[in-house]
Structure 1
């Protein structure tokens, strides 16, 4: 069975080289570049990868890059391993995932464990490491790294190139609606180098998640999916309506109204019993960033403004 690799990236430098080197033997290997200026294109070509350079006069999205790689695949390709350029596939993963798809013809997407290379480099890297730890078995969605059936991808139209975030869950919703399944294996798949070391990076990444929640709910929020409806509701409740309520109460009854803000430390305490103090604190704080992202989606939809990628590194 033909297995291809599609890597997307921009200015990943040494991380891209490590990513491509780990895919040695995968053919065809396609690298989709999004305007790199660090020699990524030459480095990929030197490693035998077919390079697709995106037209950067058009709005960039990761979904658009993955679709460009998909369009470059030979017709006979049956399976494709998608990777972000800051990831390294683990030894044995592709063969293991292929064997699973061979045994499970109703599964279109299989993914495994994504780990952070440097989870202790910053509190933010540690939070991302915890984010990757999702249940195994039948899954609602995958991330950017996954082995997929090409015919299933093409049948649902590939990725939604208009999405600036959340393109993988959107794809998985449409695949599941078409009768396919998504599966997560308890196997090491990729090592990821987030390089999120500053608060501003974490805020932008979390804001992007809020945008994805709101747009995903707008696209697939109806029954039976209710896709990201709860996540959007929580973001707006804690990140928007909560602060507004505190302000209204303070205006109405004076300084005593500020006592309503105590609900936030109480929420941190409640969540800390489940995932620790740091995770709880940033989970609550992140609702403000998520609400900002959701509001940016709503504003652009109302105003007809152009979507802009929310980049954090």
Structure 2
């Protein structure tokens, strides 16, 4: 799938039947750019706000968006916000573009995605290329940009930005509102189980503004990912899906099990066991044979916050508790 879809896109579905749901909190100027990027591409824009204090609600209304303000006395999740946006759409809408408020939608993307769906009746979700707006600002932004660069074609899941058919989305019950992260892949598991496909096109879709400039932000993001891995595996880890089982296992082995085992061996047997920690730089070197060395280093280092998030999920699960959303901005 290439940019030919942008060039050949036709009005296969009336724009009035396509809406956009934007979610955000204190996104400032980024929210304005997001809404402006959608205005000529969809018939309706719904902005779902989660307790902003920076004037986002007024700004969205000034730009013509319908606004839904979430009741923040209930635990907030992005999944809950997206479901609230869908609930505000009129019955005549067939398609919805989901987008985070820190993203801009590329010109022509929605027409291209709509064209693809018109020719593929078994596809429920189509997404394209998400790029990082400022990868030069920090190593963490560059890591996000690399993370967005996933294979094109039929996929297992989408991210937060995607064009979806509303009928199958509603048929499977929408997003799972209790998830603090990883809600899109979990939704895609249920869609695929219902017989639908997910596709990624080699077409520019959105520009994302991560604004991750500190390691503490990056570590929180990794911790959230680990929590999502563990919760996703708990929900859909059985065969044939094995959803996020390997990701959870890698995080727990590399980020918790191995260092704990080496430390115990050093205490009980010999300090020579500490030499076993050399496996970490060796793993970086192994990964650097197929990905950039910077990315390889942070992939290995990232297993520690991921393990923390996974362990946190399992501890809370044993106690019958649910963790509230973990924000890194």
TM-score (norm 1): 0.99
Number of aligned residue pairs: 313
Aligned to 1:208: 224
SS in 2 for 1:45: helix
Give me the whole-angstrom Cα distance separating, in 2, the residues matched to 1:241 and 1:262: 15
Q: After superposition, what is the alpha-carbon deviation per residue over 1:154-183, rounded to whole angstroms, capped at 9, x for unaligned?
A: 000000000000000000000000000000
Q: After superposition, what is the alpha-carbon deviation per residue over 1:190-240, rounded to whole angstroms, capped at 9, x for unaligned?
A: 000000000000000011000000000000001110000000000000001
1:57 aligns with 2:73: yes
Aligned to 1:8: 23
Give me the whole-angstrom Cα distance separating, in 2, the residues matched to 1:155 and 1:205: 31
Give me the whole-angstrom Cα distance separating, in 1, the residues matched to 2:77 and 2:175: 10
Which range is displaced more, 94-103 or 300-309? 300-309
Give me the whole-angstrom Cα distance separating, in 2, the residues matched to 1:144 and 1:171: 11
Aligned-residue offset at 1:305: 2.1
Aligned to 1:186: 202
Aligned to 1:18: 33
* The one of 280, 297, 300 aligned to 2:313: 297
Aligned to 1:74: 90
Gaps of 5+ in 2: 1-12
Q: Stretches of 4+ moved more than 3 A in 1? A: none
Give me the whole-angstrom Cα distance separating, in 1, the residues matched to 2:316 and 2:35: 37
* The one of 216, 223, 243 aligned to 1:227: 243
SS in 2 for 1:305: coil
Aligned-residue offset at 1:306: 3.1
Which range is displaced more, 144-153 or 298-307? 298-307
**Residues 89-100 of structure 1: matches in 2 within 5 Å?**
89-100=105-116
Give me the whole-angstrom Cα distance separating, in 2, the residues matched to 1:292 and 1:27: 43
Give me the whole-angstrom Cα distance separating, in 2, the residues matched to 1:33 and 1:248: 48
Q: After superposition, what is the alpha-carbon deviation per residue over 1:265-301, rounded to whole angstroms, capped at 9, x for unaligned?
A: 1111111111122111111110000000001100111
Give me the whole-angstrom Cα distance separating, in 2, the residues matched to 1:295 and 1:85: 30
Aligned to 1:103: 119
Give me the whole-angstrom Cα distance separating, in 2, the residues matched to 1:179 and 1:238: 35
* The one of 152, 155, 158 aligned to 1:142: 158
Give me the whole-angstrom Cα distance separating, in 2, the residues matched to 1:21 and 1:44: 10
Gaps of 5+ in 1: none
**Residues 128-277 of structure 1: matches in 2 within 5 Å?**
128-277=144-293
Which range is displaced more, 296-305 or 152-161? 296-305
TM-score (norm 2): 0.94
SS in 2 for 1:165: coil
Q: Output the aligned Cα RMSD.
A: 0.7
Q: After superposition, what is the alpha-carbon deviation per residue over 1:31-63, rounded to whole angstroms, capped at 9, x for unaligned?
A: 000000000000000011000000000000000
SS in 2 for 1:273: coil
SS in 2 for 1:275: coil
